[in-house]
């Protein structure tokens, strides 16, 4: 599957997607929160650029609108909200200590290979472009998932979640030339509400465990409720 035979615009889209994948890796290993937010913003801008490029290539007019939406939401609004939250939480200088960073990046590489393996039988009619794009966006989703699993910091987990969404946007825009407008608006709305709620939860978590290290959220486990006294009632009316 030689990429050089693709039309120029498609090659450009693949290039942008590859850059977005690269930024996913940067995000995975970036320990400084503020820097990670910037990386995330750039990734959002790349997804917006992909949308714009696909819009240029023709079929769907509403893609211009959705490129603008992605740019505002993913590259500006959400990073700005996160930035503000980090400042209000006093975490500007926060760096997280990662356990086994090399191992995690290797796991990320394995996920990329897995994504390519998964889509390999999918598009057999030689659609080199679609196959690459779907594999890369699946890799973005899975690396976001990996980030959520292995980061303990609540803000970093949210970044993982948001980069998963970037992968989904990328898949929707480039493999299918964009979802219907009503769906895209709905997804964007859900994402915005989710971001607001994440902000609320940062403060709730900090109030309850004095830190944003969600590994310390460990009261509710099956084992614990066996060894120690049952935790106090959340619902007793007394």
Partner 1 sequence: MTPLLLTLLTPLIGGLALFLVRALGPAGWLNLGVSGLTLLSSLWLAWTVAQVDIVTGPGFRVDAFNVYLIVLTAFVGLTTAIFSRPYMQHVQASGRISVFNLRLYHALYQAFMLTMLVALTTDNLGVLWVAVEGATLATVLLVSLYRTPEAVEAAWKYFILCGVGIALALFGTVLTYFAAQLVLVDTESGLTWSVLHAHAAALDPTVMRIAFVFLLVGYGTKVGLVPMHQWLPDAHSEGPTPMSAVLSGLLLNVALYAVVRLKMLVDGSLAATETPHLAGALLMGFGLVSFMVAALFLHRQRDIKRLFSYSSIEHMGLMTFAFGLGGPLATFGALLHMLVHSLTKSAIFVTVGHATHLAGTQSIERIRGLIRTQPAIGWSLLFGVVAIAGFPPFGVFTSEFLLLTATMQTHPWFTLVLLSGLAIAFAGLFRHLQPMVYGSAPEGQGPVSANLLPVFVHLGLVLWLGLSIPGFLAEWLDRATVLITGGGLL
Say whether residue 109 binds partner 1 (CB under 8 A).
Answer: no
Nearest alpha-carbon partner for 49 in 62, 67, 63, 64: 67
Is the Cβ–Cβ distance between 60 and 177 less than 8 Å?
A: yes
- Shortest CB 141 distance to partner 1, Å: 6
Say whether residue 2 binds partner 1 (CB under 8 A).
Answer: no
DSSP reduced 3-state for 134? helix
| DSSP H helical ranges for 57-100 | 62-70, 78-88
Is the Cβ–Cβ distance between 134 and 122 less than 8 Å?
A: yes
Which residues are CB-contacts of 86 (< 8 A; sequence separation ≥ 6)?
Answer: 33, 34, 37, 92, 94, 155
The pair of structure tokens assigned to 113 is 């290979």
| Identity of the residue, 30 or 137, whose beta carbon is nearer to partner 1 in the bound complex | 137
- Shortest CB 13 distance to partner 1, Å: 15
- Shortest CB 1 distance to partner 1, Å: 17
Return phi, psi of residue 213, to 5°: -85, 100
| DSSP H helical ranges for 120-180 | 128-150, 154-176
Interface map 79-108 toward partner 1 (x if CB under 8 A): ------------------------------
Interacting residues with partner 1 between 138 and 197 (CB under 8 A): 138, 141, 144-145, 148, 154, 157, 161, 164-165, 167-168, 171-172, 175-177, 179-180, 182-183, 186-187, 189-190, 193-194, 197
What number of CA atoms fall less than 13 Å from residue 28's CA on the CB side? 29
Residue 160 burial (CB count, 10 A)? 23
Q: Tokens 């830190």 identify what position?
A: 211
- Shortest CB 22 distance to partner 1, Å: 20
- Shortest CB 19 distance to partner 1, Å: 21
- Shortest CB 207 distance to partner 1, Å: 7
DSSP 123: -
| Identity of the residue, 110 or 200, whose beta carbon is nearer to partner 1 in the bound complex | 200
Say whether residue 220 binds partner 1 (CB under 8 A).
Answer: yes
Say whether residue 57 binds partner 1 (CB under 8 A).
Answer: no
The residues binding partner 1 (CB under 8 A) are 118-119, 121-124, 130, 134, 137-138, 141, 144-145, 148, 154, 157, 161, 164-165, 167-168, 171-172, 175-177, 179-180, 182-183, 186-187, 189-190, 193-194, 197-198, 200-201, 204-205, 207-209, 214, 217-220, 222, 225-226, 230-238
């Amino acid at each position: 599957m030689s990429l050089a035979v693709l039309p120029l615009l498609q090659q450009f889209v693949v290039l942008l997607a590859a850059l977005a994948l690269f930024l996913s890796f940067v995000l995975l290993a970036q320990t400084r929160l503020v820097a990670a937010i910037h990386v995330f913003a750039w990734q959002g801008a790349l997804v917006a650029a992909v949308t714009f490029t696909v819009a240029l290539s023709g079929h769907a007019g509403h893609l211009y609108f959705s490129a603008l939406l992605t740019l505002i939401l993913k590259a500006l609004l959400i990073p700005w909200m996160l930035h503000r939250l980090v400042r209000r939480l006093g975490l500007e200088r926060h760096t997280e200590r990662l356990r086994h960073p090399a191992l995690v990046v290797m796991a990320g590489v394995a996920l990329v290979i897995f994504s390519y393996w998964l889509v390999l039988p999918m598009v057999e009619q030689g659609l080199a472009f679609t196959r690459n794009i779907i594999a890369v966006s699946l890799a973005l989703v899975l690396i976001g998932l990996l980030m959520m699993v292995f980061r303990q910091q609540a803000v970093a987990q949210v970044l993982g979640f948001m980069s998963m969404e970037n992968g989904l946007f990328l898949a929707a825009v480039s493999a299918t030339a964009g979802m219907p407008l009503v769906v895209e608006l709905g997804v964007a709305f859900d994402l915005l509400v989710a971001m607001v709620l994440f902000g609320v939860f940062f403060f709730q978590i900090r109030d309850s465990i004095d830190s944003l290290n969600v590994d310390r959220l460990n009261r509710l486990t099956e084992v614990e409720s066996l060894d120690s006294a049952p935790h106090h009632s959340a619902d007793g009316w007394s």
